[in-house]
Amino acid sequence: KLDEIRSVLADNTAVYVAHPPGTPIDDIVALAGRVQQMGLKATPHIIARKLESRDQLERALARCQELGIGHALCVAGDITADKPAYDSSLEVLQTGLFKKYGFRDVGIAGHPEGSKSIGEERVEQALRGKAEFAKTAGFNLYFATQFGFEPQPFIDWEAETTAKGIHLPIH
């Protein structure tokens, strides 16, 4: 349905390319390449716990660069590979590969309504670690949240995040 999607989106609109279970990362990158070629801003999901090796990550990001993709969403993910190479998105960010392959903007998970799967303490540690990493990343880091139907949790989370001295943009 890419042609249908393209007909309703303005040029350079960000299109997140999800990485569903059972789909190889190469397929996600290929689809993101098609989205990018359509004049949209492809933003493929890079899921830390689905990655089996640094080499797999590097190949995917190198291919993104070849396809003109400079945006990604890097999250830890709930579904894991049999033997994941990474446990967190921060570990993936710290490889330096996003910078090496010319990424300009990388989204990271924001959890305005918390995360039951990892708990409040680990969310807090991740938040601070990513904010610290952003200072020297060499590309723009921003929080991407899931959508919600009630605005108040998002408003409160933005205020709490700012009060902690964390000033990354929130999308």
pLDDT digits (tens, 9 = 90+) for 1-46: 899 999 999 999 999 999 999 899 999 999 999 999 999 999 999 9
- Answer whether 0.85 is exceeded by the pTM: yes
Q: Is the dihedral of CA 109, 114, 115, 119 positive or negative?
A: positive
Strands (E), 26-126: 41-47, 71-75, 105-110
- pLDDT value of position 120: 76
Angle value at C-alpha 71, between 131 and 75, nearest 5 degrees = 50
Residues 142, 130: Cα–Cα separation, whole Å: 10
Copy the structure tokens of residue 105: 């903007």
* Contact between residue 148 and residue 114 where contact means Cβ atoms under 8 Å apart: no
Residues 118, 137: Cα–Cα separation, whole Å: 24
pLDDT digits (tens, 9 = 90+) for 112-168: 877 666 767 777 888 889 999 999 999 999 999 988 889 999 999 999 999 999 999
